[in-house]
Amino acid sequence: MAEPMKIRASMSGDTTDVKCLMNHPMETGLRKDAKTGGVVPAHHITNVTASVNGKQVLDAEWGGGISKNPYLAFKVKGAKAGDTVEIKWVDNKGDSNTAEAKIS
Partner 1 sequence: MNILRRNVLKGAGAAGAVSVAVAAGLMKPTFAFAGWNKAGFESKDLGGAMGSIGGSSAAASGDISVKAPDIAENGAVVPVEITSSIAGTDSIAIVGEKNALPLIAVFNFSNGGQGYVSTRIKMGSTSNVIALVKAGGKAYKAHKEVKVTIGGCGG
How far apart are the C-alpha atoms of 91 and 63, rounded to whole Å? 10
Determine, following the binding rule CB under 8 A, whether residue 101 of this chain makes contact with partner 1.
no
Determine, following the binding rule CB under 8 A, whether residue 102 of this chain makes contact with partner 1.
no
Determine, following the binding rule CB under 8 A, whether residue 56 of this chain makes contact with partner 1.
yes
Determine, following the binding rule CB under 8 A, whether residue 64 of this chain makes contact with partner 1.
yes
Question: Could you write out the DSSP letters of every residue in 30-46?
Answer: -PBPTTT-PBPPPB-EE
Measured from the Cβ of residue 104, the count of other Cβ atoms closer than 10 Å reads: 10
**Given the rule CB under 8 A, which residues bind partner 1?**
15, 28, 30-32, 46-47, 49-50, 52, 55-68, 70-79, 90, 92-94, 96
